[in-house]
């Protein structure tokens, strides 16, 4: 029988479903508050979007996807299967329902609401990483600006305009416009095609798979069990919750947290969560570079992010709305290379390795889902889009506070999953 709580009224035990950055961060901060944790994942640690992403902790670039210009770009991309944003023409009522809601949110008022909501996560996301690395998570984070490169100053004005809009919405970003010589000092492998840049200061990067695995080791060292089991349902009762797995096992606890990324809606819809989460799949690979890689590089026109990674360069890009379990489409990798090759010199594209596709969990209004659902004792955390890595630890810290105190932090109100 499960003990329904501690003497102070908080839960004694929790099951966290999902072993990515969000789920493991929630587990770690629950442990910090005295809760015993079991983590379940259908395929293991960092198996979803947490492994192959660009590895940016970049609060200065958490620009919501539902910007009006993205809608215009997305409509054009329907006729171009190699476009960085790809929406396949398929018979998928769920996808088209999601896109209709996304379209309705592609207006400045909704975009501004998402920017303002993210301010609270941005303000503390770097500190949350520091808490983890100072207390047992043995993986480095690296301070470095993100340098955006452009073919001309007119292109650069597009990003500068976005950053000004962020500031107007209450999220100022420290940045500097760069000429060709200044850009080349920061990005030695920039080709002659790049003549202008923008340096975004106060950012960090890391090896995402390495960090999440280190986080998992810390969670286990603090007493948790991480098991490879697929959750199919969660039942609530007066004693707490019981998680049911496809393998026929049941796992009881006082509370459950569902942090399954792009698969979140498969469980959450039964608990009154009406905001859908869809997979915006991204691709990445690693290539050798003949020149120094001093920090993250952003190529907005190509929608490509590059990061120092294990002595080479991780290249990540594209946004593909497709089933999260669908196989990789190799044409998407070719499209990334085609768009980035003219902009970078000394990159040995033919020697690419670690080819990966991962499903970013995207919501139609640009805001994640974090908090308790209609089933008492069941919480969800997901839908961070492209910023799940940056916002994972602070999400875990804030959600652990809500779970153990019963009070919703002000910072989470805009992310209420029942909105």
Q: Supply the pLDDT for residue 346.
A: 96
Grouping H, G, I as helix, E, B as strand and the rest as coil, residue 194 is: coil
Class of domain 13-415: alpha beta
Q: Are the C-beta atoms of residues 370 and 329 closer than 8 Å to each other?
A: no
Dihedral sign of CA atoms 15, 19, 22, 28 in order: positive
pLDDT at 3 exceeding the cut of 80: no
Assign residue 13 a region (left: φ > 0; alpha: ψ between -120 and 50; beta: otherwise).
Answer: beta
Q: Supply the pLDDT for residue 5.
A: 45
The helix or strand, by DSSP H or E, that contains position 175, with its residue range, turns out to be: strand 175-178
CA separation, residue 253 to residues 23, 34, 84, 306 (Å) = 16, 14, 43, 41
- What is the per-residue pLDDT across 343-381, written as a single tens digit (0 to 9) for each? 999 999 999 999 999 999 999 999 999 999 999 999 999
- What is the per-residue pLDDT across 52-102, written as a single tens digit (0 to 9) for each? 999 999 999 999 999 888 766 655 555 566 666 767 767 688 888 998 999
- Alpha carbon 200 to its chain centroid, in Å, reads 19
The stretch 386-408 carries a mean pLDDT of: 97
Segments making up each domain of the chain, as ranges: 13-415
Q: What mean pLDDT value characterizes the chain?
A: 93
Q: What tokens appear for 251 in the block?
A: 């796992």
- What is the per-residue pLDDT across 144-198, written as a single tens digit (0 to 9) for each? 999 999 999 999 999 999 999 999 999 999 999 999 999 999 999 999 999 999 9
The helix or strand, by DSSP H or E, that contains position 371, with its residue range, turns out to be: strand 369-372
The stretch 302-318 carries a mean pLDDT of: 96
Tallying the residues shown for the chain, one arrives at 419
The stretch 124-130 carries a mean pLDDT of: 97
């Amino acid at each position: 029988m499960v003990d329904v709580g501690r003497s102070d009224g908080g839960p004694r035990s929790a099951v966290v479903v999902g072993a990515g950055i969000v789920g493991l961060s929630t587990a770690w901060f629950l442990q910090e508050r005295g809760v015993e944790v079991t983590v379940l994942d259908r395929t293991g640690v960092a198996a979803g979007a947490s492994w192959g992403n660009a590895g940016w902790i970049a609060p200065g670039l958490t620009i919501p996807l539902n910007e009006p210009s993205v809608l215009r770009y997305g409509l054009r991309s329907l006729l171009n299967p190699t476009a960085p944003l790809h929406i396949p023409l398929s018979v998928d009522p769920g996808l088209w329902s999601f896109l209709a809601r996304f379209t309705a949110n592609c207006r400045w008022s909704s975009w501004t609401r998402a920017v303002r909501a993210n301010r609270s996560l941005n303000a503390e996301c770097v500190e949350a990483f520091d808490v983890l690395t100072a207390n047992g998570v043995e993986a480095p984070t690296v301070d470095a600006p993100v340098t955006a490169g452009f073919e001309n100053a007119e292109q650069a004005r597009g990003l500068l305009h976005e950053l000004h809009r962020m500031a107007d919405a209450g999220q100022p970003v420290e940045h500097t416009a760069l000429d060709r010589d200044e850009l080349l000092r920061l990005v030695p492998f920039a080709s002659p095609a790049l003549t202008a840049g923008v340096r975004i200061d106060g950012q960090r990067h890391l090896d995402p798979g390495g960090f999440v695995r280190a986080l998992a080791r810390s969670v286990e060292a603090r007493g948790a069990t991480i098991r490879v089991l697929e959750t199919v349902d969660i039942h609530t009762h007066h004693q707490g919750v019981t998680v049911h797995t496809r393998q026929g096992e049941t796992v009881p606890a006082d509370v459950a947290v569902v942090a399954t990324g792009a698969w979140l809606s498969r469980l959450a819809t039964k608990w009154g969560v009406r905001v859908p989460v869809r997979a915006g799949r991204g691709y990445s690979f690693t290539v050798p570079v003949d020149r120094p890689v001093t920090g993250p590089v952003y190529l907005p026109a190509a929608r490509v992010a590059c990061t120092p990674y294990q002595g080479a360069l991780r290249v990540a890009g594209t946004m593909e709305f497709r089933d999260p379990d669908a196989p990789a489409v190799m044409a998407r990798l070719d499209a990334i290379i085609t768009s980035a090759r003219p902009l970078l010199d000394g990159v040995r594209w033919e020697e690419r390795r670690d080819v990966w596709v991962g499903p970013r969990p995207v919501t139609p209004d640009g805001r994640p889902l974090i908090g308790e659902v209609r089933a008492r004792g069941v919480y969800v955390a997901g839908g961070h889009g492209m910023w799940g890595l940056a916002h994972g630890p602070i999400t875990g810290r804030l959600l652990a506070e809500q779970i153990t105190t019963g009070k919703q932090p002000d910072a989470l109100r805009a992310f209420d999953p029942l909105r």
